[in-house]
Structure 1
Amino acid sequence: MGYDTDEVVSVGTWFGLTLLLGVVAMIPFVGILIAIVILLILAFSDVNKNVQNWAKASLIWYIIAFVIGIILGVALISSMSGVSMSDMFSHLLSWF
């Protein structure tokens, strides 16, 4: 593209990227999906290496948060329904 993909990223660029993702992620229902698409584009396109690494790290954090959210959601649902966690997991594992 004719530009250096290893140059230092300015504070303004970091501020803009985090603001963009923060605002987009707050859109109900589809915001998080749009944010993930933006991160995937940044992580695997020909942009600055620093931005690529930041996007990859952010995707890893999103995956970790998603897994923790699923675990907490299952725990909440099981506690509200009166079913123990061990019974719920054994029932879920019996499907496989």
Structure 2
Amino acid sequence: MTIRKTARWQRSIDDRILEHLRDDSVSTAKQMAIRDNIHATEAQVQDRCRVLADADLVAFLTEDQDFVELTTEGEQYLDGEIDVELYPYPRHPKAME
């Protein structure tokens, strides 16, 4: 079992988003919001994706932030190889609009 080193700013939805992206490689907030294990609205998923992108765990593939993919750092986090608490604290999603 992999033990992930989570940060204080992270929420449980973050892991669900990252796990989904590991399985599906590219997705949208709308696609993730309808997944059984996400339990969030499209807007909530989009906000968390912005935070995860600011922490370099995911990357947006388009300027309008429709499509998102897992980064190398996101994969390493899921594998328990990095401690995201040591990374700079991400900005609040509303500050990134």
The TM tier, using the shorter chain, reads: under 0.3
When you count strand as a share of all residues, which structure comes out higher? Answer: 2
**Higher Cα radius of gyration:** 1
Q: Which has the higher contact order (CA 8 A, sep 6+)?
A: 2
